[in-house]
Amino acid sequence: MRFSPVELARSANRLSKERRKAQMRRHLHPVRRIERVAPPPGRRVVAMTFDDGPCAGPARPGDGQGLTESLLKTLEQYGARGTFDIIGTTAFNYPDREGHLHTARWSGVKHDHYPEFGRDELAGAANQPGLVRQILDGGHELANHGYHHVAFGPSRFIYGSREFLPNLAAVIEDLKQLHQLIEHSFGYRLKLARPPHYIDHTADGYSAYHAYCAMGYLYLAASFDGGGWKPSCGDYRKDVENMVTPLARALAADPDSLNGQIIFQKDGYNMSKQSPVCDALPRQLELLKRYDYRVVTVSELLSLSPYTDLDPSHPVAEKIRQLERVGFVLAYMDNSFQPERLLTRGELAVMLLKPGLEEMKEVRAKLGTCRQNDNSPAFKDVPPQNPYAAAISRTAALGLIQARGELFYPDRTASWQEIKEAAIALCRLLKLSLPTPTVPSHERPVNRLAALEVLAPYLLAL
Ligand SMILES: [Zn+2]
């Protein structure tokens, strides 16, 4: 059988995506990728994100109303709250030339220009602070989409002609610029972020997750495409229709299907320099209303249901939420909780560390940075590239988990005896007056939820 180069590239891409996904499911990480969450029971909620604004460019050609204002008006009309994934400005992304309309390079060959080439002053928080104020006054949420909307790293295919930021430090600098602008001008602290064009890797071998770890952000993804970015099919009314039909079909097939999902929308023009979103949005919201959905910000969605696979009404869920709120790292990078998964000693090390301590800052930084330059690993079986290396050496040094001489056995499942010893050691270390936990006497391995149920009172007391 022979394959064309395109087919080969596609299948290589698919394989590497699958590998990445599998890896994300295995790593406890302070930066979770929020794509969707487990349906909150007893109600229907959905979130919507609006990328690339704010935008003062006309909602429709010749229209007096700006795009962001039009979206805000519609959201208000339906009592809906959006998450606006804003940029700072693309005004510095020159010299450049305009690309072909209806392609990914429509707004520029080397860079993106929002809302369009040569009209950069009409978009972005740095140019349109009044629109940012209106977004916040409407009760909506903001997310960091990069000050300059420059890709975090190279892209081989669709965005091959694009310039990208030189390294991780430059990515963090770009994020900080927007973060500080929003904090200083509006007293608003950004907590969520999405990389331009979802290009995650940096040129120096790091990723968006490292940058977001440094910023204390969660990774904002989406699970349902609102479709407003696509090139026009040549008929504007059909473009609008094409944004409404998939939603109508999904809801007709299963009215609960959108519960806990995040819908991707644009606060900018599509590849044909039009904004069908302003005519599709009222119809999408009308549909959601008909099916009894509440449209909330992503943060509100997360407060109702934080993970993809944990029923928020589970008796332990509230404790887990409290721990997460104060910064404990309890879930995997793909935002799964995997309550039934057996707990390893390496994971126990990560889960035991109290945030806020000086040491924890270092550990969190290292957790987010798999590439470490520590040449003297504490244990023979924990190489520096083990993502939990820093947490392991710290918990072992504090006597929270016992090592066996030069070996830690990070992948071995934890026993009930070890959970009990960790709780006792925590009490001793931090002078907590809590009773010793009662744990089952059998030696069967412990799952994550059961372990947290026992450890939560000790961790919450820290
Ligand atoms: Zn974007």
Residue 123 alpha carbon to ligand 1 centre in Å: 12
| Rounded Cα–Cα distance for residues 188 and 352 (Å) | 31
Residue 361 alpha carbon to ligand 1 centre in Å: 31
Please give the pLDDT value at position 429. 85
Structural tokens at position 155: 């892209």
Instruction: List, in order of start, the domains of the chain with CATH numbers.
Output: 41-301 (3.20.20.370), 341-460 (no CATH)
| Rounded Cα–Cα distance for residues 171 and 189 (Å) | 18
Residue 50 alpha carbon to ligand 1 centre in Å: 9
Residue 450 alpha carbon to ligand 1 centre in Å: 41
For residues 338 and 309, the answer to whether their CB atoms sit within 8 Å is: yes
Residue 237 alpha carbon to ligand 1 centre in Å: 24
Mean pLDDT by 10 residues, the chain (462 residues): 69 83 91 96 96 96 91 98 98 95 93 96 98 98 98 87 94 97 98 96 93 93 95 96 98 98 97 96 98 98 95 91 90 95 95 69 56 63 89 91 95 94 90 86 86 92 80
Residue type, 55: C
Residue 145 alpha carbon to ligand 1 centre in Å: 7
| Rounded Cα–Cα distance for residues 352 and 330 (Å) | 9
Residue 146 alpha carbon to ligand 1 centre in Å: 9
Please give the pLDDT value at position 385. 84
The SS3 of residue 48 is: strand
Helix locations, 254-344, DSSP H = 277-290, 298-304, 317-325
Residue 381 alpha carbon to ligand 1 centre in Å: 42
Of 61, 29, 77, 105, the C-alpha closest to 331 is: 29
Residue 150 alpha carbon to ligand 1 centre in Å: 9
Please give the pLDDT value at position 423. 94
Residue 33 alpha carbon to ligand 1 centre in Å: 17
Residue 319 alpha carbon to ligand 1 centre in Å: 36
Please give the pLDDT value at position 372. 43
| Rounded Cα–Cα distance for residues 337 and 125 (Å) | 35
> In whole angstroms, how large is the CA radius of gyration of the chain?
24
- Residue 332: strand pairing partners: 28
Residue 345 alpha carbon to ligand 1 centre in Å: 40
Of 270, 264, 334, the C-alpha closest to 46 is: 264
Tell me how far the alpha carbon of residue 395 is from its chain's centroid. 28
Give the DSSP H or E segment for 359.
Answer: helix 358-367
The SS3 of residue 293 is: strand
| Rounded Cα–Cα distance for residues 328 and 339 (Å) | 16
Give the DSSP H or E segment for 170.
Answer: helix 168-186
Residue 52 alpha carbon to ligand 1 centre in Å: 5
Residue with tokens 């744990």: 439
Residue 206 alpha carbon to ligand 1 centre in Å: 20
Measured torsion, CA atoms of residues 270, 275, 276, 282, in degrees rounded to the nearest 10: 130
Cβ count within 10 A of residue 402 = 13
Please give the pLDDT value at position 141. 98
Of 344, 401, 410, the C-alpha closest to 381 is: 410
Structural tokens at position 45: 């909620």
pTM of the model: 0.92
Please give the pLDDT value at position 367. 58
| Rounded Cα–Cα distance for residues 51 and 53 (Å) | 6
Residue 244 alpha carbon to ligand 1 centre in Å: 21
Report the Cα–Cα distance between both ends of the chain, in Å, rounded. 61
Residue 83 alpha carbon to ligand 1 centre in Å: 13
For residues 86 and 145, the answer to whether their CB atoms sit within 8 Å is: yes
β-pair type (218-220, 293-296):
unpaired
Residue 155 alpha carbon to ligand 1 centre in Å: 14
